[in-house]
Amino acid sequence: MRLKDKVALVTGAASGIGRESVLLFAAEGASVVAVDLNDEAGNAVVEEIRGAGNTAVYVHADVSKSADCKAMIDAAEKEYGRLDVLFNNAGIMHSADDDAISTDEEIWDLTMNVNLKSVFLGCKYGIPALQRAGGGSVINTASLVAVMGSGAPQLAYTASKGGVLSMSKELAIVHARQNIRVNALCPGPLRTELLMKFLDTEEKKKRRLVHIPVGRFGEAAEMARAALFLASDDSSYVNGSTFLVDGGISSAYVTAE
């Protein structure tokens, strides 16, 4: 088991990458703290973990709020006595997010709060817990668009994920000598609800797929396996990385249909 005796906290745990990650982390031996706003789905995934004979608790938190982020870290230490893995994964992609001209300020602020401020707050309260545990791993979900930009306008999302990537690199440098690693997981297009609600026709899907060299969307479970690598001691020399898991998009200039 790659996370035996570890304690892992995952935000956005009720769906998508977060859900697959808490299931996998628990199966690999971690005691899991599943954090989300969706209490029904969050409790459901915890029950699934427990039903498989593994260990997990659910914590309700709005990760854009300082008090909630502090409380989720406190809950991890109270329940399990330590924190070894912090996976700042929660995020949104708003349908009204567009270019600089069309995007309303409130959409910009909401996206920054949920996608970027939440990572800052998670690290603000989570890194001291890792220090108390003698070290650990921080994984922050950025995106392919943090590296390349997006062809379809989604300025607030792209800027927020660019901020996550830059923040991750700086934190990796600051805390490297404290046995704390910080890496940015950068997924490509995934077959998750977050993206599929935008690619809601076969034509839209085909237009996106033509740019993916492997010819398909990624799966949330594949991102969870990448996160498991970053969470485990297998990645003990991986720090400050832009960990691209994108089906080859970032290596391709043009892909044939």
Q: For the domain 7-192+219-242, what is the CATH code? A: 3.40.50.720
Q: How confident is the model at residue 8 (pLDDT cuts 50, 70, 90)?
A: very high
pLDDT, tens digit, for every residue of 191-225? 766 665 656 566 655 666 667 777 778 899 999 99
DSSP state letter for 191: S
Task: Return the minimum-mean-pLDDT range out of 12-16, 18-22, 106-110, 198-202.
Answer: 198-202
Closest to 139 measured CA to CA, from 105, 170, 182? 182
- pTM of the shown model: 0.93
List the chain domain ranges: 7-192+219-242
Separation of alpha carbons 242 and 1, rounded Å: 26
Closest to 245 measured CA to CA, from 220, 230, 226, 229? 226
Q: How confident is the model at residue 240 (pLDDT cuts 50, 70, 90)?
A: very high
- Model pLDDT, residue 206: 60
pLDDT, tens digit, for every residue of 95-153? 899 999 999 999 999 999 999 999 999 999 999 999 999 999 999 999 999 998 777 78
Based on the number of CB atoms within 10 Å of its own CB, is 229 exposed (0-12), middle (13-18) or buried (19 or more)? middle
> 253 an active-site residue?
no
- Model pLDDT, residue 171: 98
> Annotated catalytic residue: which of 58, 125, 157, 237?
157
Separation of alpha carbons 115 and 113, rounded Å: 6
